[in-house]
């Protein structure tokens, strides 16, 4: 059986946390909750959730800071920002590294659809990265199948220039 995906909810309104939790669990997700920004960031870092639902206005640390912080640390976890209303901050949220945003009050059905879509996209990305992880090596040459790029001793190779040498090397390999 496939492992359950976990969703971190960072939201200071308990009623919203409860309804999100209820709906996510019904969809088959595990949930983690944080009612303030500091705890949210800590759980995001230590529990490695599959997706984060991130409120903007939070005690201790706001959603943008959390988002920026995670992206600066190299995290690629999908983040859906939950914003209070249609405002400029939505764009700021995406600039801070959010993948998507929803304006409150949002449709639970719409949010669940976006959660599914973001999680699916993430696992496709991860699968793709894993499957192209295999590099092809021939002598000093390394071929990266995802980009068809070729390097020699770590330096990029211009195939049009180096072709004769590649052939020579290939021949040397055979001998
Ligand atoms: Ca809030």
State yes or no: pLDDT of 144 exceeds 90.
Answer: no
Residue 166 Cα, ligand 1 centroid: separation in angstroms? Answer: 60
Residue 55 Cα, ligand 1 centroid: separation in angstroms? Answer: 6
Instruction: Please give the pLDDT value at position 2.
Output: 67
What residues does the ion ligand 1 have nearby, CB within 5 Å?
Answer: 12, 55, 57
Paired tokens of 160: 């049009």
CB contact at 8 A, 106 and 126: no
pLDDT tens, residue by residue, 6-64 = 999 999 999 999 999 999 999 999 999 999 999 999 999 999 999 999 999 999 999 99
Report the relative pairing of strands 6-10 and 30-34 from DSSP bridges.
parallel
Flag whether the pTM goes above 0.85: no
Residue 29 Cα, ligand 1 centroid: separation in angstroms? Answer: 23
Give the three-state DSSP class for 28.
coil
**Lowest-confidence segment of 17-31, 77-91, 118-132, 141-155 by average pLDDT:** 141-155
């Amino acid at each position: 059986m496939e492992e359950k995906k976990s969703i971190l909810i960072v939201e200071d309104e308990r009623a919203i946390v409860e309804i999100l939790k209820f709906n996510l669990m019904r969809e088959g997700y595990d949930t983690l909750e944080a009612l303030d920004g500091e705890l949210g960031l800590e759980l995001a870092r230590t529990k490695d959730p599959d997706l984060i639902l991130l409120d903007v206005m939070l005690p201790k640390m706001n959603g943008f800071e959390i988002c920026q912080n995670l992206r600066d640390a190299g995290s690629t976890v999908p983040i859906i920002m939950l914003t209070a209303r249609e405002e400029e901050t939505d764009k700021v949220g995406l600039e801070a590294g959010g993948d998507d945003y929803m304006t409150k009050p949002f449709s639970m059905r719409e949010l669940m659809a976006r959660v599914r879509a973001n999680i699916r996209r993430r696992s496709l990305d991860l699968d793709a990265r894993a499957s192209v992880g295999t590099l092809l090596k021939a002598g000093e040459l390394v071929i990266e199948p995802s980009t068809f790029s070729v390097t020699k001793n770590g330096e990029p190779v211009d195939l049009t220039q180096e072709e004769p040498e590649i052939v020579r090397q290939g021949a040397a390999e055979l001998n």
